[in-house]
A = this chain, B = another copy of it.
């Protein structure tokens, strides 16, 4: 037997007992002819004392280095009062070794585990060492606590954990599918799923009523900061539940996992906000409500002024003129304002107008601004509308609505963080009443904002005859926490005619619809229950809960931003025999490519 107790669990309750522990040498110190070893396992550290006397054992102890794996037998003894370490669970005792065995030697490791300045590349190459660090252990333990809590909640609420295929068919967003050739089907490919959407809908049509799965999804795309080619989703679907019921159930889930995962208790109902309100007040559909700043529309006041920079967007149906009041922002320096001007430039804003509110009782004279002269008659009304007080600054955005929303939306978060305005640790909000469709500017085609299986707030007739489809709302809902979309879902279409109408609206021909979704359109004919569901992005959710900066910190073996695995060196080259088996060849050989 290699252990009777975990290192981190040997406490004063065991005083006087013989124990066996196994673990890694975290630190070795020689002091006054005695060797002290901090032995580490999953549960923590314990101090092992090796006294001279037993030469064989002492020689072993002298030989061990950091990260050696040892088995220690010994007696649990109280430490002397002056050597007690109150910070450690095991700090009142030490194990006086009777026997010591090296289970595995260790070469000097390539970096010190507690060195904070190791590049992520090195950490990922030696992931098995990186994962030994306390904070990585805790991050992955949090992930486990979260998934375990999810499962228990869903089990307790009558959901069944069910599996759906990983080798499946290319989907609507097929351009991002990973394709998988197969020896048994030359010239054909499986696709890895971007989500189990259609299969979970089919499970509802099969009568399983409540489904969940914590499952891997895949997307082969240019990798942005916090994306992984494979990611994990908590995927949920229910029958005979309305969106209200689903949101209530999922809110309960969210509260439960926060309690079990990170000891956070929400004792209030999550607020709900329409998409329109989110855009109006926060410029974004995933508002960070920890920050109290809000955008205020002022276009109506500025349509008739001469100052074209404001009047133009104010009159443009696609334009927006909005103000962002920053309480006590009057203290911002010229330099800071210039930096914010550059910052909004990232989002396409051509400038950043502002008014410093020095003394409201002095009227216009109390406003310090390069622009107030352009709308002297409206300035005080704007101040009143935004609720300005002495000492504030009010920023303005005027441009296409998209630019104003993105620029001021980002600015409010940046200023909120810079000026330490974050009022609370957690700010969850449900966003509802999303538009069903949006125009893809590149392709000039209508696309579904959630996905084409979401139910519009309209009848089939209305869908087919709608004259302003971009105004049509959907029965979708997103859960946003601290400005991060942690989950989203919708009521699905459960009628084959409505589904066909939506596909038509998306410019999908009948032939293409039949080819890609024929099985779904068919299945919808044989008695489909009303159904609704949701999916949570597990990686991002755990990152948020564990307060980590990257999803790579909550994934045991993540890919880099270029979608490679530093540890195993995947993806890799394959030999010609494997290619021949698949009846494939490369468009260009590797040497041709290198010559390019």
Residues of chain A whose beta carbon lies under 8 Å from any beta carbon of chain B: 1-3, 6, 22, 24-25, 40-42, 67-69, 71, 103-107, 109, 126-129, 131-132, 137, 140-141, 143-144, 147-148, 151, 155, 160-170, 174-175, 178-192, 198-199, 202-203, 205-210, 216, 218, 220-223, 229-230, 232, 239-242, 245, 494-495, 519, 523, 525-530, 555-557, 559, 562-565, 567-574, 578, 580-588, 590, 593
Contact = CB atoms under 8 A, between A and B. Distances in A.
Contacts of A162: 140, 143-144, 556
Given A161-B144, A182-B229, A189 B527 contact: no
Contacts of A192: 166, 180
Contact of A106 (B187, B526, B556): B526
Given A40-B207, A68-B527, A585-B584, A563 B179 contact: no
A551 to B, nearest CB: 12
Contacts of A578: 170, 174-175, 179
Nearest to A148: B155
Contact of A69 (B69, B104, B229, B528): B528
Contacts of A104: 494-495, 527-530
Nearest to A181: B179
Contacts of A209: 6, 41-42
A571 B164 CA distance: 15
Contacts of A230: 165-167
Contacts of A207: 24, 40-42, 131-132, 137
Nearest to A567: B519
Contacts of A585: 584-587
Nearest to A575: B174
A165 B229 CA distance: 10
Given A103-B494, A179-B578, 12 more contacts: A3-B240, A42-B208, A148-B151, A151-B151, A164-B556, A165-B570, A167-B571, A179-B574, A180-B192, A206-B556, A519-B567, A584-B587
B182 A180 contact: no
25 contacts: A22-B529, A42-B210, A104-B530, A127-B206, A129-B206, A131-B206, A131-B208, A163-B232, A165-B559, A166-B166, A166-B218, A167-B570, A167-B571, A168-B570, A169-B568, A170-B578, A184-B563, A188-B574, A189-B571, A189-B572, A198-B568, A202-B567, A203-B556, A580-B587, A585-B586
Given A128-B202, A242-B1, A583-B588, A572 B106 contact: no
B523 A128 contact: yes
Given A207-B40, A578-B175, A585-B584, A519 B141 contact: no
